Amino acid sequence: MRTLLFILLLAVSGFSSDTRFNTYCNSRFEFCIQYPGSFIAQPESANHDGRTFIAADKKAEIRAFGSLVTEGAGNIARQFATATAGLKITTKTVKDSWFLFSGVDAQGNIVCRKTRTKRLSRSRLTGGTAYQSLMIIYPASQKLLYGSYCELISKWQ
């Protein structure tokens, strides 16, 4: 159901009707995302914590990744503070189990990210709970092209 909702959101987003989307699923941290088919998938990281997708013009990238919630790593508010360090935040929402923000980095790129916590079904193998993150980074000059992906990130469940 959640995948269907996400696909429907893609259909009404700012992407053209001929935009093809691909799916990436991360088995280690138990999440899936949709990304534009025009983005080139890079190899998954050696420890299988995520993958980066690069736009054909190499100016934008989408990152999907997870990390274990470890003792001493803090709560979601601390994760938010770490994720936004060095950014000029334009919008933010911080809840008990997730955060969402949009901002601008030092190079003037727009950064949109959502991070959520999830209890993993294979907790004996992975430690129990994970942070799952989805983000896009793109030049401000490409806001019309990629701004709607920020909206999709906000709806990611």
pLDDT in tens, 102-153: 999 999 999 999 999 998 887 555 558 899 999 999 999 999 999 999 999 9
Task: Supply the mean pLDDT for the chain.
Answer: 86
- Rounded to an integer, what distance in angstroms lies between the CA atom of residue 98 and that of residue 108? 25
Q: Where are the domains of the chain?
A: 2-155
Q: Higher confidence at residue 13 or residue 23?
A: 23
Phi, psi of 11 (to 5 degrees): -65, -30
**Residue by residue, what is the 3-state secondary structure of 24-73?**
EEECCCCEEEEEECCCEECCCCCCCCEEEEECCCCCCEEEEEEEECCCCC
| Assigned superfamily of 2-155 | Mog1/PsbP, alpha/beta/alpha sandwich (3.40.1000.10)
Q: Which amino acid is at 84?
A: T
Report DSSP state, residue 14.
S
pLDDT in tens, 58-73: 999 999 999 988 766 5
